[in-house]
Amino acid sequence: MLLVVFLQSCTINTEFIFHKDNTISTTLEVEVKSDSIGNVNSNDKKLPREWTSLYDFAVQEGKNVPPDSVDVLKRISTKGLYKEDKNIGFGLRFERMTDNDWKELGKSGKQEEKIISSLKQSSIDWNGKTLVLNVEELFSDNSDKDTKQNKKSKKKSEEDLGEQMGTAMLKAFDIQTNMNFKFENPIKSIKGKHRNFKQIDNHTVQFNFNLKDEISQDNKKKKYDKKIIITTE
């Protein structure tokens, strides 16, 4: 149902909205650049142009939806991105997700959903008032972890091997990532700095970067705060 993308050149626009009830809403759109448009593939029919919930997809396909999954599936939507009639990418939207929602999504979601779930769980900690952004984890390519693990054991699990392959692919890809973080309550203070991080207004901060550049050896040697802490009123 969802697009399976293997991109060499793309732009990822992500918006996180941090609600004061400790939930997070997220919209992610992946747009393929013109020189890489042929790399967008779908194993199924085209995605709709309007946001459609995963619950509606399941009903349309005649699938049985477990009662305990109905609520979260209604809060996750997807759509295709089109330029005229050509598919240029896809979007995912998550509405008011709890910590438990993200964890369950990481276990049972499709690949695209697992990616954003992993991003949230490893890099973003929100308690309803304070956001801790783990910059070090956001730009981690697992190389340091792999080095330490190799000293302990020469045998790698399939999961570790998959991470290494993913890192190698990311280093070869041109992925521009634009992230907006919006807060329901006004921002009170920000602790921590990064050259690609800036405050837009009293409710919004922005983090834009090219992933290939950030995980390069030259950039890894540059100093930056490992965590950025944003406290709201």
pLDDT given at position 217: 59
CB 170 within 8 A of CB 207: no
For residue range 72-81, what is the model confidence (pLDDT) as tens digits? 999 999 999 9
CB 75 within 8 A of CB 113: no
Reply yes or no on whether the pLDDT at 82 is more than 80. yes
H/E/C letters for each residue in 5-62? ECCCEEEEEEEEEECCCCCEEEEEEEEECHHHHHHEECCCCCCCCCCEEHHHHHHHCC
Least confident of 33-42, 128-137, 205-214: 33-42
CA distance between the termini of the chain? 41
How does the average pLDDT of the chain come out, rounded? 79
Among 50-59, 158-167, 205-214, top mean pLDDT goes to: 50-59
Reply yes or no on whether the pLDDT at 170 is more than 70. no
How many Å apart are CA 128 and CA 100, to the nearest integer? 15
pLDDT category at 210 given cuts 50, 70, 90 is: confident
pLDDT category at 151 given cuts 50, 70, 90 is: very low
Among 116-120, 121-125, 192-196, 222-226, top mean pLDDT goes to: 192-196
| CA-atom Rg of the chain in angstroms | 19
Reply yes or no on whether the pLDDT at 153 is more than 70. no
The structure's pTM equals 0.79
pLDDT given at position 157: 53
Q: Are strands 174-183 and 9-18 parallel, antiparallel or unpaired?
A: parallel
How many Å apart are CA 80 and CA 201, to the nearest integer? 30
pLDDT category at 122 given cuts 50, 70, 90 is: confident
User: Percent of the chain scored above 90 by pLDDT?
Assistant: 44
Give the bridge partners for 94, in sequence order.
Answer: 26, 76
